[in-house]
Amino acid sequence: METIWNGKLKIYARPASGALYEIGADVAEGLADGDYSAAHVRNTATGEIVAVFHARVSVTEYAEMLVTLAKVYNNAWLCIEANNHGHAVCAWVYHHCRYRRVAREHRQAEGQLGAESMRLGILTTAQSKPAMLAQLEQALRTGSLKVFDAGTVEELAVFYRQPGGTYGAASGRNDDRVIGLMLCACARLRRTVRFA
């Protein structure tokens, strides 16, 4: 294992020539005492998580780091959570950094009654999260997703269905890595390129 970027990024395998990669990215505000932003890089052929990013960084710094990481890993697909500050990360990646390999989903356009369009990023909602977590569970169980990162394994161990039916970490614990991993597990189903 090699750690760079002041302990924020752990690399378990360097990019292999010709290999395809996907990155699942959970987005936080970037506050010094807030949640963490977390990203996992997966080799699509082996299912191995080859790199993990976990840190408190600004939205723009995170967006630029994701693009750098994606370019290093053979122009990987980015599957970015679009909730809250994720919209800003998606916009920065796509419009400022001009990186086009960003997962999209078909959902209602904001501000237009009944209008639907392909939107940057992936929303995680009370309705979508259970199905996405089921995909993650299946990928971990079947070995199509292999995790070597101790921090991710620790978060998976305390992530559960809470009273009321929501999902999250135990009190006082984080689930940023779990959400990033969940997005990584779902990335293959969400890839759509738009060059406009």
155-164 contact pairs (CB < 8 A, 24+):
156/181
Distance of alpha carbon 114 from its chain centroid, rounded? Answer: 28
One-letter amino acid at 187 equals A
pLDDT, tens digit, for every residue of 174-190? 778 888 898 888 766 55
For the chain, the domains span: 2-189
pLDDT, tens digit, for every residue of 72-84? 999 999 999 988 8
Provide the angle, in degrees to the nearest 10, between the axes of the packed helices 176-186 and 129-142: 80
Per-residue DSSP letter, 145:
S
Hey, what CATH class is 2-189 in? Answer: alpha beta
Q: What are the residues facing 119 on neighbouring strands?
A: 105
pLDDT, tens digit, for every residue of 109-134? 554 555 445 678 888 877 777 888 88
